[in-house]
């Protein structure tokens, strides 16, 4: 058995390197330029994450107007204002007319009994 010389391995590995696909060579050149300029590197994984997040936001914004009105902030504010104003009016009315009617009755009864 003859031992395979290291140079055989080296030659084959160099052949692999020399025959790198054109697309890979292009991407490597782009990576080198990015590194030399110290721009933020672009990762394939991050690209997918960004694309996923963007499409999720887009889908959410499309679904929202048709799905539920209760999530719209403006309508909530209007409703709160409406409820507040109507409750104030009722309180005043109760105070003025209905709430102390029993006092009048009580006073009238006292007067009658004294008489």
Partner 1 sequence: MSLAYIKTDHKASLAENSQSDSAVVSIEYNNIDQFLKHIEKRAFHMARLSTRSLEDAHDIVQESMYKLVQKYTDKDSSAWKPLFYRILNSKITDYYRRNAVKDRLFPWKKTDIEDAQDYFNTAVEQGIARSSEEPDAMMIRQQNTAKLASHIQALARRQKQAFMLRTWEGLSTRETAKAMGCSEGSVKTHYSRAMIRLRSMLEDDYND
How many angstroms separate the CA atoms of 95 and 100, rounded? 7
DSSP-derived 3-state class of residue 110: helix
Q: Mark 54-93 with x for binding to partner 1 (rule: CB under 8 A) and - for no binding.
A: ----------------------------------------
Q: In 4-100, where does DSSP find H-type helix? A: 6-18, 22-37, 44-67, 73-93
Q: Mark 12-31 with x for binding to partner 1 (rule: CB under 8 A) and - for no binding.
A: xxxxxxxxxx--xx-xxx-x
Q: Which residues bind partner 1 (CB under 8 A)?
A: 1-4, 6, 8-21, 24-25, 27-29, 31-32, 34-36, 38, 41-45
């Amino acid at each position: 058995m003859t031992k395979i010389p290291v140079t055989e391995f080296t030659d084959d590995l160099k052949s692999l390197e020399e025959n790198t696909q054109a697309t890979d060579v292009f991407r490597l050149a782009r990576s080198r330029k990015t590194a030399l300029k110290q721009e933020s590197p672009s990762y394939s994984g991050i690209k997918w994450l960004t694309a996923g997040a963007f499409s999720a936001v887009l889908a959410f914004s499309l679904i929202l107007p048709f799905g539920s009105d209760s999530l719209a902030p403006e309508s909530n504010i209007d409703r709160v204002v409406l409820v507040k104003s109507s409750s104030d009016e009722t309180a005043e009315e109760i105070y003025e007319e209905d709430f102390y009617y029993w006092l009048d009755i009580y006073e009238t009864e006292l007067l009658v009994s004294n008489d």
